[in-house]
Amino acid sequence: MRRIASLTLTSLLMLSLSPLLAHGAEPAKPKGSASPAVSVLTDTYGGVRMEVQPGEVKKETPKDGRPENKVILDRTKLKEAFGRLKDQAAGQPAVTAVIPSTESTVKIHIADAVLDEARQTVPGAYLLLQLPEVSYKLPVGFSAKAAEELKVPPANVTVIVTIKSMPDSALGTARERLKAAGASEILPAPVDFKITGQRTNGQTVDLTRVGSAYVQRVLTLPASVDPSTVTAVTYANGEISFVPALFNYNQATVLSPGGGWFTIVSSSKEFTDTAGHWAEADIRLLASKLLVKGTSASEFSPDKPVTRAEFAAMLTRALGLPDNRGASAKYSDVGKYTWFAGPVGAASAAGLVDGYDDGTFKPNARISREQMAVMLTKARAYGSGLQGLPKTVDLSAVSIPVFEDGAKIASWASEPVTEVLAVGLMEGVTPEKFAPKENATRAQAVVLLKRLLVSLKLVNPV
């Protein structure tokens, strides 16, 4: 049976895979020993190990016919485990629940009341769900989100974590989309995760996209990779999209504020009109990561002016934000079915862009360098929030260059221009000139985008 790809989530959750284990392999048991009826607790360095017994793992077959494991973590034992953490006073306290799952889909049920009590008594603690192939890290602070979304006390909520590999019926289409994008698979199949909150009356709410932070997923790859020729992608609604990720040898840390089918692919893209261009390396990098596209299959048109819609799309895709067509409806000149409706809506909802007083967005208008500075500043602040980095910049601690055309910078762009100069996202077109009214080119946009991604630690500094 196909193995689930390794997936580690930190921040909100952590998943990791041992490539040596296959689904269907039963955990080894000492000969002549009988399994206890309930989970067994053992104190470890900096945590507590909670061994879930085979009898606590149920096999079910839902309507889709794919067998799955259902695990209900013992409430009493879990509470006792967190109580031991409090006594240990460890720096990064963790309860590790070792679960002997056997299926490619696993659903783990956790009493939110236990997580909530731990949140108050052991702040910073987390629950690590360790399966034969996958480990999953959930901060106890997540309990507050579950109860808030369902509008009931934690005592009436169960948190359900679901991890599964893409079914064979969907793999064919996904692989066709990857091939069309010029990408090759590195992992055997995309992996999906989902977090659900469930009330005692059966009402449920999807918590996967709840929150305002990147969820980190660390995927273990078959071998070490070159960060410049591999990328993380998500597959949704028949589309392949770039996802921010950092690569270190055979580990890929994928960052996304939401869920979806995630995988790692290899890709390399060259354009005939960028050879020898000053921005050639950055264009090749972001095109290979499936973040930017050419104006044709063979050309990028690096010196062509970039539009407001194009730059808004670059920013939202760089940050890994899903399209939001509904949010673009407030602009009279952004049609629902235009290619830019989704990214403009996403940028607007995130506060990265603003329209004009007449209710328009002017999507096809060329963007000036000072307008770009404003959008970059907002994107940097938004991305910093998702990454848990400082949103503001201490401008008094840096030296800001003085340009001879500084007086031409609009008052509404003065502070953003100062900020992007201070953090190194932008610089003058010459040491003496900033050229605030000059139209930005596609090449300039790509270079600034790469700088933004590196500064936010969303791609490797290659």
What is the pLDDT at residue 259? 78
What is the per-residue DSSP string for 410-444? -HHHHHHHHHHHHTTS---SSSS---TTSBPBHHH
Rg from Cα positions in the chain: 24
CB contact at 8 A, 142 and 208: no
What is the pLDDT at residue 407? 94
Give strand pairing partners of 233. 242, 263
For residue 13, what is the DSSP state? -
The set of residues, in sequence order, having a beta carbon less than 8 Å from that of 371 and lying 6+ positions away, is 308, 413
Distances (CA, A) of 77 to 83, 96, 110, 140: 10, 12, 12, 16
| Cβ count near 364 (within 10 Å) | 12
What is the pLDDT at residue 185? 86
- What is the spatial distance between Cα 237 and Cα 222, in angstroms, rounded to a whole number? 28
- What is the spatial distance between Cα 427 and Cα 444, in angstroms, rounded to a whole number? 11
Burial (Cβ within 10 Å: 0-12, 13-18, ≥19) of residue 132: buried
What is the pLDDT at residue 33? 52
pLDDT tens sequence across 418-457: 999 999 999 999 999 999 999 999 999 999 999 999 999 9
For 393, phi and psi rounded to 5 degrees? -120, 130
pLDDT tens sequence across 265-304: 999 999 999 999 999 999 999 999 999 999 999 999 999 9
User: What pTM, to 2 d.p., does this model score?
Assistant: 0.80
What is the pLDDT at residue 101? 87
List the chain residues with pLDDT less than 50. 1-32
What is the pLDDT at residue 188? 73
Helices 341-349, 308-318: inter-axial angle, 10-degree rounding? 70
What is the pLDDT at residue 433? 95
What is the pLDDT at residue 211? 58
What is the pLDDT at residue 437? 96
What is the pLDDT at residue 397? 72
- What is the spatial distance between Cα 329 and Cα 345, in angstroms, rounded to a whole number? 8
The residue type of 203 is Q
